[in-house]
A and B are shown apart, each in its own frame.
Chain A
Amino acid sequence: MIPFDLAEPTSLAAAIKLLNPDDPTIRPIAGGTALMLMMKSGVFNPEKLISLRKIEGKFSTIAADTDGLRIGAMTTLGALERSKDVPKYAPLITRTLRTLSNVRVRNVATIGGALAHGDPHMDLPPVLMALGATLTIIGPGGERKLPVEELFAGYYETVLEKNELISEVHVPAQGSKKGAYFKVTTGSADDWPALGVAAVIEGDAKLIKSLRLVASAATDKATRLKSAEALLSGKTVTDDLLRQAGDAAIADCEFIADVRGSVPYKRELMKVYVRRAVRGAMDGMDGAH
């Protein structure tokens, strides 16, 4: 590994000052679980890393009120998993964390890193998108808000500038909405998924008033399945309708092949799991199997 400098600023503002919008060899590092792998495999050779570990504590706390959850970007996935508030306001997140990677990774990886990394195989992006979460992003010019849905620009690409940092994630309370996340793995349960499908549904046992459906892993980036949503919203759910929704979802996605499945196989999975995710959410099965 080629040597690099490490800065450990004690405030987010100071961290931003150390970043350079035009220099890709300077990068923020949070838990380091994704970045270190890239460095070890030689994909990324930094000149300088800006550690976020010593910035203000408020960026690693979870606040909850009737509006939902405010999660500091430096909150570890482990803290999120063990939080008493998260299952009250967004139980779907707690379910997702149970099969996200393993306890060693969750104890150091952060929610900010899980979003900023832009890897389409990750579990939280589709779930946060389905929950309608928004980000607070801080840059040299101040603060801006961005729906998580608009964060991803493509395969490992986000719309973040190189001198911007995610400071907080706001998750609206799930309330009466039902949710499911199906992590479809072709290996073990905590393997990377071949497909992730998140569904958050407002409705009763049969009728869908409104819903958000998001797919990941099979696709180049976490993707809202808008055609499928349009087919389903306001409708009484039948097997036939779900089948149509599955077919429609295919058209919403840019599929990618990897060792977990070819494009045709991932298409098949998508058809099946759009149906299972909607049914799962409506039947109160959160997708953990």
Chain B
Amino acid sequence: MAPTGPSLIGRRMIRVEDGPLLRGRGRFIDDLDIPGALHVAFLRSPVAHGRLKDIDASAAKALPGVHAVLSFADLRPVLTGDRIPQALPSGAIRFDVDPIVLAKDEVTYVGEPVAMVVADSRRVAEDALALIALDLDELPAVTDPVAGLEYGAPKARLDCPDNLVARQSIDYGDIDGAFAKAAHRIKARFRLHKGGGHSIETRGIAVRIDPVDDTLTIHANTQLPHRAKQILVAALGIGEQRIRVVAPDTGGGFGPKAAFHPEELALPAAALLLRRPLKWIEDRRENFVAAVGERDQDWDMEMAVDAGGRMLGLRGRLCHDHGSCTPYGVALAYNAGTNVIGPYVLPTYRLDINWCLTNFVPCAPTRGAGRPQGMYVMERLLDAVAETVGIARDEVRRRNMIQPTQMPYATPIKQRDGSTMTYDSGDYPECQRRALEAGGWADFPARQAAARKAGRYIGLGLANYVEATGRGPFESAGLRVGASGKIVITTGASAQGQGTKSMLVQLACDVLGVAPESIEVIAGDTAGIALGFGAFASRQAVTAGNAVHQAAIAVREKAIQTAAEMMEASAEDLELKDGAVQVKGVPHMKRTLAQIAHAIAGVPGFALPGGVTPGLAASIDFPAPALTYCNGTHICEAEADPETGMVRLLRYIVVHDSGRIINPMIVDGQVTGAVAHGIGATLYEWMRFDSQGQPQTVTYGDYILPSSDTVPPIEVIHMESPTPLNPLGVKGAAESGTIAAPAAIVSAVEDALHSFGVRIRNLPLTPERLLASIQAAG
């Protein structure tokens, strides 16, 4: 039955989260007052690599207010194994190096947790840290993923025979034949850095132990509460019914909060040992050194094209800095490798991906998850092809683009699970056309020449992207109307500020015709729903969105069916409007959802009306067997100072297609924020280490984030190509803005400095690096 009234989908509805957050009523992890909680501070490795011989905590234990100082040996009795069982399966992995709760006999990065102090206050706990003596033999550190794979390199971990922790390849088509017949071959090497997640709220964990119920409740600002629970069940060897993980309001995720960190096991294990509630809030320095993030990839590539600039093949090698262990599988570099093809037809491709263990904090996806690097490589090479062949940058892209008539387009690429990477829908040439038009591409040469006369160097850059979104296998949602009329949605989806709850409420309101205030969403609580995943891979509108949509439809049908019984009317004559089922055209003949819910909640001894099943509720696990691909085009205008290498962004245009849009305001925010992230990754953010693996940038004075004066106005233009893969036709949107930004910005800078013949390869593009490129070209 079709919904009555105008659809709410596509409306700029105010987010349900905003009121409480703006009034200071958010409840973040550090706002939770856990009665009697003791505070934890971690002693972290001061060196990148070393043998841990002894930990002398006697002085720390003697400090008044200290309850315990715990090391690996202390926690091990309550654990099922030495390592944290968190591997994501992959045949590419040569050595399993699951993280460890606290260092056992080897430290493998600066910041690795070695011991934990439990004290009356964080202050006392930190004071005690200074009293712990570590007996460490420093070992040579691996601080470069290319050097780390060379013969004779030191070992990043003593328990692995070498540093090649995983190896993958993408290989299709006759690559040698393609290169043999090429009119041009273009070689380029890229060293691509990408920074961390840098959510405004650092990580935090509070553990409550309930001696009456014998349960552990873990409050943690994780993106994946259900996965955290699964790992805890396995690591602590206690039953599902005794562990609850719940994520409170969370101030940003961006990837790092998806990986399970050692502290997330250390606190529950310590709470079990000490039988006390515990709390730990990561400080900013810890966030810099101990939260996972992205780092370096080294790409050595060669492209073959015909005389008209059409791609024939691409081959090369990617060396990925993996860090010292594997908290989140080996998807990151594979994403980068598969995403290289973007919206283009690439007939042959061979990429060898080598994952190098290094003595850095483990690498795990941040917004974009490898795709910005892959897209950057393709787009930089296409700019080079345009230059070599002597055609415009937009033309080389048009010549290579997948056409809308080819949709669905099965690429020759196999995904991690062996399935074929298939683009479901989209019109890439039209998307680029709209972006060029909005960016004033055709008129730009005249503007550029005029600026040049005035002594200014401006340039316009262009980049396209495609992103796999809505990763499965499924997401869960339950929707229940209570006898009070209140509607509760429970879901495995989790929210870190994306407006996830608003999105779900909007979808439910659309079907049920109720006011947003009548709906409560419980997201990110393992007690709310048994199964679920959470926030990663731009997936929640696709997976949880469709789950809630279908649950709401099921509830609507049941409400009408029940009301028909109650009113002795025919279901065809009824409609759901404003929270009540009414006879069409006779609004006073109705039953409210509350009345219906009350009726089928049941009364002892009385049958339910018409034999309907109990409860005005539905639960749906929405399966998402295939990914849906969003796409877009970015145009960036930049000005460069050839004397200093400084870059300023003047304008930024995004044409973005994430299928059908539920709330454009939320999508605008996601795209804009993601572009800002991309600007940071391109121009400012650089987590630096010295050659011994010591971090050099551990404050926001030294690690520069994009800010209001460096992010230009961003114009977002929506295009909507609904996907056929889900009933709502929606695709993900939250990461895509980051993907094309590095390529678009660098294209603009090269264009601005075209007269110097500047070639930019590495990221980030700091003024110093740009000046060096200018001087090298001149």
A interface, CB within 8 angstroms of B: 1-2, 41, 184, 186-192, 194, 259, 261-262, 265, 268-269, 272
Decide if A186 touches B707 in the complex (CB within 8 Å): no
Which of B70-78, B531-539, B695-703 is near enough to bind chain A?
B695-703
Decide if A259 touches B644 in the complex (CB within 8 Å): no
Residue B767 interfacial (CB < 8 Å): yes
Decide if A190 touches B643 in the complex (CB within 8 Å): no
Question: Of B644, B707, B768, which is within 8 A of A262 by CB?
Answer: B768
Decide if A268 touches B644 in the complex (CB within 8 Å): yes
Find chain A residues with CB under 8 A from B706 CB.
Answer: 188
Find chain A residues with CB under 8 A from B127 CB.
Answer: 1-2
**Given contacts A1-B123, A2-B127, A272-B643, A259 and B702 within 8 Å (CB-CB):** yes
> Could you tell me the distance between the alpha carbons of A206 and B688 in the complex, rounded to whole angstroms?
45
Which of A186, A190, A194, A269 has the largest number of chain B CB atoms within 10 A? A186
> Could you tell me the distance between the alpha carbons of A186 and B703 in the complex, rounded to whole angstroms?
11
Residue B710 interfacial (CB < 8 Å): yes
> Could you tell me the distance between the alpha carbons of A178 and B767 in the complex, rounded to whole angstroms?
29
Which of B634-667 touch A at CB < 8 Å? 643-644, 646
Interface of B is mostly: loop
> Could you tell me the distance between the alpha carbons of A190 and B701 in the complex, rounded to whole angstroms?
10
Q: Within the complex, what minimum Cβ distance (angstroms) separates A156 from chain B? A: 15
Residue B144 interfacial (CB < 8 Å): no
What sequence of 0s and 1s flags, for each residue 100-130 of chain B, a beta carbon within 8 Å of any chain A beta carbon?
A: 0000000000000000000000010011001
Decide if B123 touches A188 in the complex (CB within 8 Å): no
Task: Give how many A-B residue pairs fall within 8 Å (CB-CB).
Answer: 49
Residue B684 interfacial (CB < 8 Å): yes
Find chain B residues with CB under 8 A from A268 CB.
Answer: 643-644, 771
Closest 3 A-B residue pairs measured CB to CB?
A187-B704, A188-B707, A265-B768
Decide if B710 touches A187 in the complex (CB within 8 Å): yes
What sequence of 0s and 1s flags, for each residue 74-89 of chain B, a beta carbon within 8 Å of any chain A beta carbon?
A: 0000000000000000
Between A and B, 14 residue pairs with Cβ closer than 8 Å are A41-B285, A41-B699, A184-B644, A186-B767, A186-B768, A187-B704, A187-B707, A188-B684, A188-B706, A188-B707, A259-B688, A259-B697, A259-B702, A265-B767
Find chain B residues with CB under 8 A from A1 CB.
Answer: 123, 126-127
Residue B709 interfacial (CB < 8 Å): yes
> Could you tell me the distance between the alpha carbons of A45 and B643 in the complex, rounded to whole angstroms?
43
Question: Of A187, A190, A191, A272, which is within 8 A of B644 by CB?
Answer: A272
> Could you tell me the distance between the alpha carbons of A262 and B709 in the complex, rounded to whole angstroms?
24
Q: Within the complex, what minimum Cβ distance (angstroms) separates A84 from chain B? A: 26
Given contacts A2-B127, A261-B768, 5 further A-B contacts (CB under 8 A): A1-B126, A184-B644, A191-B701, A259-B697, A269-B644
Question: Of B688, B702, B771, which is within 8 A of A265 by CB?
Answer: B771
> Could you tell me the distance between the alpha carbons of A109 and B219 in the complex, rounded to whole angstroms?
38
Residue B400 interfacial (CB < 8 Å): no
> Could you tell me the distance between the alpha carbons of A189 and B646 in the complex, rounded to whole angstroms?
12
Decide if A186 touches B709 in the complex (CB within 8 Å): no
Find chain B residues with CB under 8 A from A262 CB.
Answer: 768
> Could you tell me the distance between the alpha carbons of A49 and B686 in the complex, rounded to whole angstroms?
36
Decide if A189 touches B709 in the complex (CB within 8 Å): yes
Q: Within the complex, what minimum Cβ distance (angstroms) separates B765 from chain A? A: 11
> Could you tell me the distance between the alpha carbons of A184 and B767 in the complex, rounded to whole angstroms?
11
Question: Of B126, B643, B696, B709, which is within 8 A of A259 by CB?
Answer: B696
> Could you tell me the distance between the alpha carbons of A189 and B707 in the complex, rounded to whole angstroms?
9
Find chain A residues with CB under 8 A from B646 CB.
Answer: 186
Closest chain B residue to A195, Cβ basis: B644
Residue B694 interfacial (CB < 8 Å): no
Find chain B residues with CB under 8 A from A261 CB.
Answer: 767-768
Q: Within the complex, what minimum Cβ distance (angstroms) separates A278 from chain B? A: 15
Find chain B residues with CB under 8 A from A187 CB.
Answer: 684, 704, 707, 710
> Could you tell me the distance between the alpha carbons of A261 and B643 in the complex, rounded to whole angstroms?
15
> Could you tell me the distance between the alpha carbons of A164 and B737 in the complex, rounded to whole angstroms?
55
Q: Within the complex, what minimum Cβ distance (angstroms) separates A188 from chain B? A: 4
Q: Within the complex, what minimum Cβ distance (angstroms) separates A7 from chain B? A: 21
Closest chain B residue to A192, Cβ basis: B701
> Could you tell me the distance between the alpha carbons of A269 and B768 in the complex, rounded to whole angstroms?
10
**Given contacts A191-B704, A259-B702, A268-B644, A186 and B126 within 8 Å (CB-CB):** no
Which of B285, B643, B702, B768 has the largest number of chain A CB atoms within 10 A? B768
> Could you tell me the distance between the alpha carbons of A41 and B289 in the complex, rounded to whole angstroms?
14
Decide if B709 touches A188 in the complex (CB within 8 Å): yes
Residue B766 interfacial (CB < 8 Å): yes
Find chain A residues with CB under 8 A from B126 CB.
Answer: 1
Find chain A residues with CB under 8 A from B767 CB.
Answer: 186, 194, 261, 265
Decide if A190 touches B709 in the complex (CB within 8 Å): yes
Q: Within the complex, what minimum Cβ distance (angstroms) separates A106 from chain B? A: 16
Which of B685-731 touch A at CB < 8 Å? 686, 688, 696-697, 699, 701-702, 704, 706-707, 709-710
Decide if A188 touches B643 in the complex (CB within 8 Å): no
Find chain A residues with CB under 8 A from B704 CB.
Answer: 186-188, 191
> Could you tell me the distance between the alpha carbons of A186 and B683 in the complex, rounded to whole angstroms?
9
Q: Within the complex, what minimum Cβ distance (angstroms) separates B768 from chain A? A: 4
> Could you tell me the distance between the alpha carbons of A268 and B771 in the complex, rounded to whole angstroms?
9
What sequence of 0s and 1s flags, for each residue 524-554 of chain B, a beta carbon within 8 Å of any chain A beta carbon?
A: 0000000000000000000000000000000
Q: Within the complex, what minimum Cβ distance (angstroms) separates A121 from chain B? A: 9
Decide if A188 touches B710 in the complex (CB within 8 Å): yes
> Could you tell me the distance between the alpha carbons of A189 and B766 in the complex, rounded to whole angstroms?
15
Q: Within the complex, what minimum Cβ distance (angstroms) separates B147 from chain A? A: 21
Q: Within the complex, what minimum Cβ distance (angstroms) separates B713 from chain A? A: 16
Find chain B residues with CB under 8 A from A259 CB.
Answer: 686, 688, 696-697, 702
> Could you tell me the distance between the alpha carbons of A2 and B767 in the complex, rounded to whole angstroms?
40
Closest chain A residue to B706, Cβ basis: A188
Q: Within the complex, what minimum Cβ distance (angstroms) separates A102 from chain B? A: 10
Closest chain A residue to B688, Cβ basis: A259
Closest chain A residue to B702, Cβ basis: A259
Find chain A residues with CB under 8 A from B772 CB.
Answer: 265
Find chain B residues with CB under 8 A from A194 CB.
Answer: 767
Closest chain B residue to A275, Cβ basis: B643
> Could you tell me the distance between the alpha carbons of A273 and B211 in the complex, rounded to whole angstroms?
68
Find chain A residues with CB under 8 A from B684 CB.
Answer: 187-188
Closest chain B residue to A272, Cβ basis: B643
Q: Within the complex, what minimum Cβ distance (angstroms) separates B646 from chain A? A: 7
Find chain B residues with CB under 8 A from A2 CB.
Answer: 127, 130
Find chain A residues with CB under 8 A from B686 CB.
Answer: 259
